Structure 1
């Protein structure tokens, strides 16, 4: 398991070189990532589940969610970043071992608002 954790840490460290990522292992096997800007201000913290550490697709989905959140935090949204918000990203269920839970999807930004405006 530690090799999966080490691989995830290395992957995330390489992707977020513009920030100062800090990782903390937790007793339940999850991993906490803190991203700080150059002045040391914490921008965000995320928990990386064990399944995300082992599965490359889930880890990449996490990376995309973090990038979207960073764009929102740092704002303003540039025109060339709009595509990030139009992509559907699978989210983990709260109980991933329960087969009755289906993966949730992120609603495409704007479609709900357009539907509500039409009412």
Structure 2
């Protein structure tokens, strides 16, 4: 398993934050804000795997890209980036030595907090 930074997702997240499509919630809010499995499945069915991928900062290129196993470190609810999701992703990336994802999350948090 070689999880890498998903650059298209990071670009989308930055653009969404700049456009004000961000929820400035707190760390513990992510457990309730993150999409459920049913919401994920509905989004994939309506928007496709590429759009689903754009909401995850991690990609495992050894996995089939049309499976959820390929995508990790979710940061939004398919409409807006959630500060709590970015915090959760940063924490998990740090725990599992994904430095590029951790650093991208730190920079994204700075952008969110500077813009608020």
TM-score, normalised via structure 2 length = 0.25
- Larger strand proportion of the pair: 1
TM-score, normalised via structure 1 length = 0.25
- Larger helix proportion of the pair: 2
Question: Larger relative contact order (C-alpha < 8 A, sep ≥ 6)?
Answer: 2
Q: Which has more radius of gyration?
A: 1
